Amino acid sequence: MTTTPDRYAGALRLDGKRALVTGATKGIGADIARAFASAGATLVLSGRDEAELAAARTALSGEFGVEIHTVAVDLAEGDGPSRLAEAALGAFGGLDVLVNNAGVSYPQSVADTDPALFDATIAVNLRAPALLASIVGAAMVRAGVGGSIITVASAAALAPLPDHYAYCASKAGLVMATKVLARELGPHGIRANSVCPTVVLTEMGQRVWGEEAKAAPMLARIPLGRFAQPHEVSDTVVWLASDLASMVNGVDIPVDGGYTMG
Ligand code: NAP
């Protein structure tokens, strides 16, 4: 006799769900795109590089047989979020899931803060996902069938990191923006939640935390004693997109091995 209750059979599937994943060309976003495709979602993938997007579409549609569209857009540009939202909503005639994952990190101390890099961080990490969620959320409300908005924030939203002045501020702002989404859109059956990973050794993670001298003190503060793998973020994002998380709204989930528990 199986010990697995029938209620979980196929529950972590995303068949029939139309999802937009930003920052899908590399790192965590590429892994989220792969996880969503393997779970049966149809996808709009976004990044800045047309060739990388085309390669991702060919690979994922070939392996998993799901329909995939791509939209190349620079989310730092003023109309980037609205252009992406309109193109993505047009691709499938609506969206059920938005994964706001694209982000940048330009480590700077408080004293050395460069205004241009501060603005660039806020533009990509806070303004773009907040505006995208506003447009996509409004479309979900009009469609009247609910939805799930998932923000890839950071443990840096929950605990201050030296030399990450703009980054911490942008991610903390994003966590709160996501809670406002949860409160305003919840009555329409739209859930909004954040995931807050510790360091993940992607291109970004490697650039910021790759040196042992920087990594060691950070690792010492993580009870599990290691950095996260991209799939550990994706697994949480897939769950939040799925019907298994149907009563989960307005939370920020640390995926950090216990780093931010206090
Ligand atoms: P990554 O490897 O550097 O990938 C970043 C993705 O975002 C790429 O697909 C990139 O597209 C896209 N992107 C960057 N700037 C963009 C812009 N102006 N317009 C459109 N797309 C843009 O980063 P990652 O480590 O996977 O990080 C993904 C998310 O997780 C970010 O929000 C990050 O803050 C968060 N996070 C990362 C870590 C970590 O340690 N890695 C920890 C916590 C949270 P292109 O191909 O065009 O460059």
The closest residue, in CA terms, to atom 32 on ligand 1 is 103
Q: What is 14-252's CATH topology?
A: Rossmann fold (3.40.50)
Cα of 229 vs its chain's centroid, Å: 14
Known active-site residue 179: no
**pLDDT, tens digit (0-9, with 9 covering 90-100), for 95-136:** 999 999 999 999 999 999 999 999 999 999 999 999 999 999
Q: Is 163 in the pocket of ligand 1 (CB under 6 A)?
A: no
- Rounded Cα distance between 81 and 74, Å, is 8
Q: DSSP labels for 176-232?
A: HHHHHHHHHHGGGTEEEEEEEE--B-SHHHHHHH-SHHHHHHHHHT-TT-SPBPHHH
**CA-to-CA dists, residue 57 to 13, 54, 132, angstroms:** 20, 5, 22
From the CA of 20, how far away is ligand 1's center (Å)? 15
Q: Is 43 in the pocket of ligand 1 (CB under 6 A)?
A: no
**pLDDT, tens digit (0-9, with 9 covering 90-100), for 181-234:** 999 999 999 999 999 999 999 999 999 999 999 999 999 999 999 999 999 999
Question: Phi, psi at residue 6, to the nearest 5°?
Answer: -60, -30
Q: Is 147 in the pocket of ligand 1 (CB under 6 A)?
A: no
The active-site residue out of 171, 179, 214, 259 is 171
